[in-house]
Every structure is written in structure tokens, then in C-alpha cells.
């Protein structure tokens, strides 16, 4: 037994050393000097990231490497960021994500799955059809979760992100599995909590990677595979139950009523009508995992964007009146139930600009990590080896005046009005949805949700930060999270 362990250890070390020697033949980006062995730059990256990265770029140029959590990772500045987003033959986001997250074990019934294709075929192309349902669900969820009721005065709400996950999940659940099932609170809870529960595996510092790169993910995989910790199980049970209810009901009704059957218009029905759906042998677990894959990618980002935009406006009450007047004008097109036509979204120009500015200054210092799937040479001659993980230096993009215009660091909400740069439009100076062929196809849905939510809040509520100050994002290393500070909300007196 000991001989096997010793031989295995020697083999791993030999492979690692051999790989390092091979990589040294490449003209790789400079590795930033560090003083503490093993720890490397980890401390500076976690606790002084903004200044640390600025100093690195100043000393080492647009592309440099740092040693964090036992890994060498390469940071790519604004001049070469588009290489990562456009050269999908050399850089891959999914491979990088799978290096640190056991998604294949959490969603083991997923099977062959192309989320981009599904979103484009069944969600993005139907945004106008889903507009009314989205609005009604959002408005009812807002009344439910921002429940001021007969409260005489203002009410304080803390941690808007958690509140927003419930509100944002309501229309998504409605459109994914139908209006009937989305009425159940346990369904909304599952939609809103699945991502945060699963992402708990990402919140654990990868300390084991100091021993050997990738060891932390290996340990996490053992936890999930053994059943010692699987945060997805309880949510899978709930969603599978509700999906089964709907699938059985729809198959029975279609058989009973034939051509007179009224077809539900939602994502679940679209999936049931695909060629790979077998009504005789339905895999409910597979259907649930497909939805969870989309939920994981959509709820967190949309709720975070919405919470940030809401906090940004609450922090800047001087812009409230101008936005209120615009939304009041737009709302003249609403029907007797207060529902806007889909086209009204295009007339929210100032609100759209506000949302884009909020997303532009989301606060992430690095983002869009990609794995190098083959050795790649940048135009400046520097090379990154296969299996290296590279990050876009997002702060370098957003703080550059030549890319952003005057005062790039300041929040100017109407910066994008009349510039043909709507909040859902990707460009080399705007990266919240990625770029290239693999830019997030769900961005249109997300922006529409945020705008409809903000439209309703601006028209019907007064809100401001409890501190009376501009509340900034909460930073954890290079990542920015929505502020957890309080927001005071009260109904408008009309």
C-alpha cells in the first residue's frame, strides 16, 4: 500500500515538473515577484486587490501572471481582452469553471445540453410574448416581498440581493414551468436558493490547492459524490416533483382533448415538444437538471444586477425626478391593468442608460475567467500555455478614458443616452455579459426584467439609503457583491 502511495506521489511530482519545464520554453507573461513562499500573492489579491493589480500593470505591462491559491493565473488588460472573448479555439469559459466547481456531479442527469441554443430557441425569441407575464409576475412579487401594506411610515429593508432573488425568481419560474406551479412558495424558494446553496462550494477558500493545484476541487468532488454534502439534492426533489405534476397533467389533457387542447406557452412545454423528448419514458430528473443549469446562470446575475441598480438609484436621489418623469410618460401606454406593451421598453432611454452604467461599474476587478485549451500567442509575442487560467482585467477596461469617455470612474447615469449603447448591447468597453459568439444570450431577458422592476419601483415608491450616503459594493478580493446596507422604502402619495 505504501509503495503505491510513494510511486503515485513520484509520478504526480514528475508530471508537474515535466510540465513546468515544457512551459518554460514558451515566452510566457512575467510572473510578478513575491516574497512569501507558497502563499505568493494570495494575501495582496484578497485584501488589497485594486492597488495590487494597478501596481502589477504599472511594473509588468498589460499581461502579467500572479501566484494565488497555489496556481499561476494570468491577468490580461484592456489591450488584449478581446482575444480571450473572441478566440474560442484557444480560450474556454466552461473548462475554467469546471476546474473549480463539480457541476457535472451536482447535475449528474443533465446529459447532452446546449444552454445557449435552448435560450435562443425558446426564451430570447419569445420575449415579446412573455412580456405581459413577466410584468404581472414581477409586480405581484414586488407587492409580496416588499410588503409595506398599511405601514404608516417608511420601512427599512436590508440586504436587497436576497430580496431580489425571490422577486426575480417569480417571473422566471412562471415562464420556465408554467403559471400554475410558480404559485407554490417552495418552487420560488428553490429557484431563488439553488444557486447560492450550490455556490457554497465556491465560497470555501481553496486552501488545499496550496498543497497541489486542483486538490480542493478533487476534495469537493469527493464530498458531493459520496453524498456527504450535496446542496442540490433538496432542490432537485422539489423541482422534479412539480415538473412531474405538469408533464403528467399535460400529456393526459392533450390525449383527452386532442386538437381542442389549449397548449401552455412556457419553456417546459417547448422542451416537451423537442425531438429528444420521450413521452413514454420521461426523464424528470433530466428535465429538472436542464432547468437548474439555466437557473444557476441566470438568477444570481440578474438579481445582483437588479439589486445594484436599485441601490445605485437609492444612493443618488438627485436623479429620481428625471427618471420618474420619463417612466410617467412611458406608463401612459399601459393598459387598464397597468401592463406596458413590449415596445415601451425601447422608450425607457434614461432608465436603460442608468442600468448600463450600474452594470459598467459593477465593481469586479477581474472577471470572465477562461481556461487556455491550447498554447496561445498574443500579438505582443507573449504566450500562455495550455491549461493556464486567464482573467480579464475588467477594472483596466472600465477605468480607461479612451474606452469609456470623460470621467470613467464616476457614476454618470445618463452617459449612454442617445449613443446606441443600450444595456444589453455588448462591446469591447462593456463586459458584464461577456463577448464574442459566446456572449450571454439571456442578457435581453435579464435587462427587461431589471427595467420592468425599476419602472414599477420608480413610479410607486420613494426609496433612499438608510445612511443617506452612496453605498458602495462589498468587495471580496477582486469580486464585487451588492451592498447589504439598508434601503428605506415608502409608498408614493398620489
Please report, in range form, the residues annotated as the binding site: 440
Residue pair 462/31 in contact (Cβ under 8 Å)? The answer is no
Please, where are the H alpha helices in 178-283? 185-198, 200-203, 215-226, 233-257, 267-272
Q: Which residues are annotated as a binding site for heme?
A: 440
Cα–Cα distance measured from residue 210 to residue 119, given in angstroms and rounded to the nearest whole number: 38
Cα–Cα distance measured from residue 145 to residue 188, given in angstroms and rounded to the nearest whole number: 12
Cα–Cα distance measured from residue 22 to residue 37, given in angstroms and rounded to the nearest whole number: 22
User: What are the cell numbers at 197?
Assistant: 446553496
Other C-beta atoms within 10 Å of 20: how many? 11
- The DSSP H or E segment spanning 383 is strand 383-384
Cα–Cα distance measured from residue 494 to residue 491, given in angstroms and rounded to the nearest whole number: 9
User: What are the cell numbers at 195?
Assistant: 444557486
Residue pair 325/316 in contact (Cβ under 8 Å)? The answer is no
Cα dist from 394 to 81, 83, 242, 414, 447, whole Å: 9, 14, 40, 21, 20
Cα–Cα distance measured from residue 240 to residue 244, given in angstroms and rounded to the nearest whole number: 6
Residue pair 390/370 in contact (Cβ under 8 Å)? The answer is yes
Half-sphere exposure of 22 (CA within 13 A, CB side): 10
Cα dist from 65 to 56, 234, 388, whole Å: 9, 40, 10
For the chain, the residue count is 494
- The DSSP H or E segment spanning 85 is helix 81-86
Kindly state the greatest CA–CA separation across the chain: 81
117: left (phi over 0), alpha (psi -120 to 50) or beta: alpha
Residue pair 69/100 in contact (Cβ under 8 Å)? The answer is no
Cα dist from 245 to 239, 251, 279, whole Å: 10, 10, 14
User: What are the cell numbers at 419?
Assistant: 449613443
CA dihedral 105, 106, 107, 109 (to 10 degrees): 60
Amino acid at each position: 500500500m505504501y509503495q503505491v502511495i510513494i510511486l503515485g506521489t513520484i509520478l504526480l511530482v514528475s508530471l508537474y515538473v515535466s510540465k513546468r519545464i515544457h512551459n518554460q520554453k514558451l515566452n510566457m507573461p512575467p510572473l510578478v515577484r513575491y516574497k512569501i513562499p507558497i502563499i505568493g500573492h494570495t494575501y495582496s489579491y484578497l485584501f488589497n486587490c485594486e492597488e495590487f493589480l494597478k501596481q502589477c500593470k504599472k511594473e509588468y505591462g498589460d499581461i502579467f501572471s500572479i501566484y494565488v491559491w497555489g496556481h499561476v493565473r494570468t491577468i490580461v488588460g484592456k489591450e488584449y481582452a478581446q482575444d480571450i472573448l473572441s478566440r474560442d479555439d484557444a480560450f474556454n469559459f466552461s473548462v475554467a469553471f469546471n476546474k473549480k466547481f463539480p457541476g457535472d456531479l451536482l447535475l449528474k442527469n443533465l446529459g447532452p445540453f446546449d444552454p445557449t441554443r435552448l435560450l435562443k430557441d425558446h426564451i430570447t425569441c419569445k420575449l415579446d410574448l412573455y412580456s405581459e407575464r413577466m410584468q404581472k409576475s414581477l409586480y405581484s412579487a414586488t407587492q409580496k416581498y416588499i410588503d409595506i401594506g398599511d405601514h404608516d411610515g417608511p420601512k427599512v429593508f436590508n440586504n436587497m440581493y436576497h430580496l431580489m432573488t425571490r422577486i426575480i425568481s417569480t417571473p422566471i419560474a412562471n415562464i420556465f414551468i408554467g403559471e400554475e406551479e410558480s404559485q407554490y412558495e417552495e418552487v420560488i424558494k428553490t429557484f431563488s436558493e439553488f444557486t447560492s446553496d450550490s455556490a457554497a462550494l465556491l465560497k470555501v477558500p481553496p486552501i488545499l490547492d496550496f498543497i497541489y493545484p486542483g486538490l480542493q476541487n478533487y476534495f469537493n468532488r469527493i464530498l458531493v459524490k459520496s453524498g456527504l454534502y450535496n446542496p442540490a439534492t433538496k432542490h432537485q426533489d422539489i423541482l422534479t416533483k412539480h415538473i412531474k405534476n405538469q408533464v403528467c397533467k399535460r400529456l393526459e389533457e392533450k390525449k383527452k382533448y386532442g386538437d381542442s387542447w389549449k397548449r401552455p406557452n412556457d419553456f417546459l412545454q417547448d422542451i416537451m415538444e423537442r425531438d429528444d423528448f420521450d413521452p413514454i419514458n420521461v426523464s424528470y430528473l433530466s428535465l429538472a437538471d436542464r432547468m437548474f443549469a439555466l437557473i444557476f446562470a441566470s438568477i444570481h446575475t440578474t438579481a445582483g444586477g437588479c439589486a445594484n441598480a436599485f441601490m445605485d438609484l437609492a444612493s443618488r436621489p438627485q436623479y429620481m425626478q428625471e427618471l420618474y418623469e420619463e417612466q410617467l410618460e412611458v406608463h401612459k401606454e399601459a393598459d387598464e391593468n397597468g401592463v406596458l406593451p413590449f415596445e415601451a421598453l425601447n422608450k425607457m432611454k434614461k432608465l436603460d442608460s442608468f442600468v448600463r452604467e450600474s452594470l459598467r461599474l459593477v465593481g469586479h476587478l477581474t472577471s470572465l475567467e477562461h481556461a487556455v485549451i491550447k498554447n496561445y500567442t498574443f500579438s505582443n509575442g507573449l504566450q500562455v500555455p495550455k491549461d493556464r487560467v486567464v482573467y480579464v482585467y475588467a477594472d483596466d477596461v472600465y477605468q480607461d478614458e479612451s474606452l469609456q469617455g470623460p470621467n470613467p470612474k464616476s457614476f454618470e447615469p445618463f452617459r449612454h443616452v442617445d449613443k446606441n449603447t443600450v444595456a444589453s448591447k455588448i462591446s469591447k468597453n462593456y463586459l458584464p455579459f461577456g463577448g464574442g459568439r459566446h456572449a450571454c444570450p439571456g442578457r435581453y431577458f435579464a435587462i427587461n426584467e431589471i427595467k420592468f422592476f425599476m419602472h414599477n419601483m420608480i413610479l410607486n415608491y420613494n426609496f433612499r439609503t438608510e445612511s443617506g450616503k452612496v453605498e458602495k459594493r462589498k468587495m471580496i478580493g477582486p469580486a464585487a457583491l451588492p451592498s447589504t446596507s439598508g434601503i428605506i422604502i415608502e409608498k408614493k402619495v398620489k
